[in-house]
C-alpha cells in the first residue's frame, strides 16, 4: 500500500509543501524515520528533528515556522497530531482483525457472547458473564462469574475483572471474609489495560461507564464507579466505594481514598493522593494530600528555600537580640 503526498493531502484536507509525488508506505517517529515513511511534528520539543529527518513526508501544523528549508515534503494541516491519528486509524482498518473464540479459551456454558467478539487463548470467561458485540479480549484475561462487558470493549492481556473486593471483618482470632456478592459492569467502548484489576462489589455493582480508558496495572476496588470518558494512566489505585465523575484525567500512580466523590472534568496529577471530595467540576489537583497546582508548586519551590529560611530566622533572632541590648 503506497500513497503520494497529494493523495494524503486531499484525504485529510492539507496543503502540500514540496514534492506532491513523494510516496510513503509506512509510519515512523520523526527521529527514526527513513525514506518511504510518513511522520508528524506536533510536540514543540521535537521541532529540531524536522531539519534532519529522512522521512519522505512530514505532517506539520499550519502555523509551523521553519528557520530554513527542509528535505522532506511537508503537508500543512490545522492539527498534525489529529491528522496522523486519522491516517493511522484508516490504515489500521485495513489490517486483519482477530475474531472468534480461540479454542484454547475457556468460556462457561452459561456465558453469553455477542457477535464479532474475539476471545484469546487462555482467557477465562466465567458463569453468566455477558460480552457485547465487537468486544476484544486478549489472552490470559480472567473474567469472574456474573460480570457484564459492553460492546466494542477492549480488554488487554492479564487483566482481571470481578475478583473479590477486599473486605474482611476483624474478630479476636483474625479476619473473617465478607462475601463479595456483587458484580462488575463495564459499559460500551471501554478499554482496560494489561494486568489491570477491577474488583466485584460487595453488593450491587462496580461500574466502569461508557468510553472510559484505563491503562495498565490499575486497581479499581469494590463498589467504585468511574464516569464516562474518564482516562487513567498506569498504576492508578482507587480504594473502595469511591466515585469518579465523567471526563476526568488521572495521572499515573495517583491514588484515591475510599468513599470519596470526584466531580466531572477533574484533573489529577501523577502520584497524587486524593483523600477528600472535590468541591465542583473542573478542579485541578496535585500532590499528596492533593491540593491545587498553584499551592503545590509554590510549596515545592519553597521546599528548596527551607534551609535558607531556617538560617534567616536564626539570623533575625540574633539581630533583634543585638537591638534589644542597645536599647537597654
What residues between 291 and 320 interact with its own copies by CB under 8 A? Answer: 291, 295, 298-300, 302-307, 309-310, 312-313, 316-317, 319-320
Within residues 101-120, the interface with its own copies by CB under 8 A covers 102, 104, 106, 120
DSSP string over 131-162:
E-TT-EE-TT-EE-TT-EE-TT-EE-TT-EES
Q: Rule CB under 8 A: is residue 124 a binding residue for its own copies?
A: yes
CA distances from 257 to 67, 152, 241 (A): 50, 30, 9
Q: Which helix (H) or strand (E) holds 208?
A: strand 205-208
Q: Rule CB under 8 A: is residue 265 a binding residue for its own copies?
A: no
Please, what is the minimum distance in Å from the beta carbon of residue 50 to its own copies? 16
Q: Among this protein's residues, is 156 annotated catalytic?
A: no
Please, what is the minimum distance in Å from the beta carbon of residue 54 to its own copies? 13
Q: Rule CB under 8 A: is residue 237 a binding residue for its own copies?
A: yes
Within residues 161-200, the interface with its own copies by CB under 8 A covers 163-164, 166-170, 173-179, 181, 189, 191, 193-195, 197, 199
Please, what is the minimum distance in Å from the beta carbon of residue 229 to its own copies? 5
**End-to-end Cα spacing for the chain:** 93
Q: Rule CB under 8 A: is residue 264 a binding residue for its own copies?
A: no
Please tell me the distance from the alpha carbon of residue 128 to that of residue 147, in angstroms, as a whole number: 7
Q: Rule CB under 8 A: is residue 94 a binding residue for its own copies?
A: no
Please, what is the minimum distance in Å from the beta carbon of residue 69 to its own copies? 25
78 SS3 class: coil
Site size toward its own copies (CB under 8 A) is 108
Q: Rule CB under 8 A: is residue 49 a binding residue for its own copies?
A: no
Q: Looking at beta carbons only, is 15 or 259 nearer to its own copies?
A: 259
Q: Among the options 156, 209, 222, 259, which is catalytic?
A: 222
Cα 28–chain centre separation: 22
Q: Is 122 left (phi over 0), alpha (psi -120 to 50) or beta?
A: left
Q: Rule CB under 8 A: is residue 255 a binding residue for its own copies?
A: yes
DSSP string over 265-316:
T-EE-TT-EE-S--SSTT-EEBTTTTB-HHHHHHHHHHHTTHHHHHHHHHHH
Would you please indicate which residues are annotated as catalytic (active-site) residues?
Answer: 222
Amino acid at each position: 500500500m503506497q500513497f503520494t503526498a497529494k493523495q494524503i493531502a486531499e484525504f485529510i484536507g492539507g496543503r502540500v509543501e514540496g514534492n506532491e509525488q513523494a510516496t510513503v508506505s509506512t509510519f515512523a517517529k520523526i527521529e527514526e524515520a527513513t525514506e518511504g515513511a510518513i511522520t508528524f511534528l506536533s510536540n514543540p520539543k521535537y521541532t529540531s528533528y524536522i531539519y534532519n529527518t529522512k522521512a519522505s513526508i512530514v505532517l506539520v501544523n499550519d502555523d509551523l515556522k521553519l528557520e530554513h528549508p527542509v528535505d522532506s515534503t511537508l503537508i500543512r494541516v490545522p492539527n498534525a497530531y489529529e491528522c496522523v491519528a486519522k491516517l493511522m486509524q484508516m490504515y489500521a482498518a485495513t489490517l486483519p482483525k482477530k475474531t472468534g473464540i480461540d479454542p484454547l479459551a475457556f468460556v462457561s456454558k452459561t456465558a453469553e457472547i455477542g457477535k464479532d467478539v474475539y476471545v484469546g487463548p487462555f482467557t477465562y470467561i466465567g458463569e453468566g458473564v455477558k460480552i457485547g458485540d465487537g468486544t476484544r479480549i486478549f489472552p490470559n484475561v480472567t473474567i469472574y462469574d456474573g460480570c457484564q462487558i459492553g460492546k466494542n470493549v477492549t480488554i488487554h492481556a492479564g487483566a482481571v475483572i470481578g475478583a473479590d473486593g477486599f473486605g474482611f471483618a476483624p474478630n479476636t482470632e483474625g479476619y473473617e471474609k465478607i462475601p463479595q456478592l456483587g458484580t462488575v459492569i463495564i459499559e460500551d467502548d471501554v478499554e482496560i489495560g494489561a494486568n489491570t484489576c477491577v474488583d466485584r462489589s460487595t453488593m450491587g455493582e462496580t461500574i466502569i461507564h461508557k468510553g472510559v480508558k484505563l491503562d495498565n496495572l490499575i486497581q479499581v476496588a469494590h463498589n467504585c464507579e468511574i464516569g464516562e470518558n474518564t482516562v487513567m494512566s498506569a498504576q492508578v489505585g482507587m480504594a473502595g466505594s469511591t466515585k469518579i465523575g465523567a471526563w476526568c484525567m488521572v495521572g499515573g500512580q495517583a491514588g484515591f481514598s475510599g468513599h470519596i466523590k470526584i466531580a466531572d472534568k477533574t484533573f489529577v496529577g501523577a502520584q497524587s493522593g486524593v483523600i477528600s471530595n472535590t468541591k465542583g467540576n473542573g478542579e485541578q489537583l496535585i500532590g499528596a494530600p492533593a491540593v491545587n497546582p498553584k499551592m503545590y508548586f509554590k510549596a515545592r519551590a519553597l521546599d528548596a528555600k527551607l534551609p535558607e529560611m531556617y538560617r534567616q530566622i536564626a539570623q533575625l533572632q540574633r539581630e533583634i537580640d543585638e537591638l534589644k541590648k542597645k536599647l537597654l
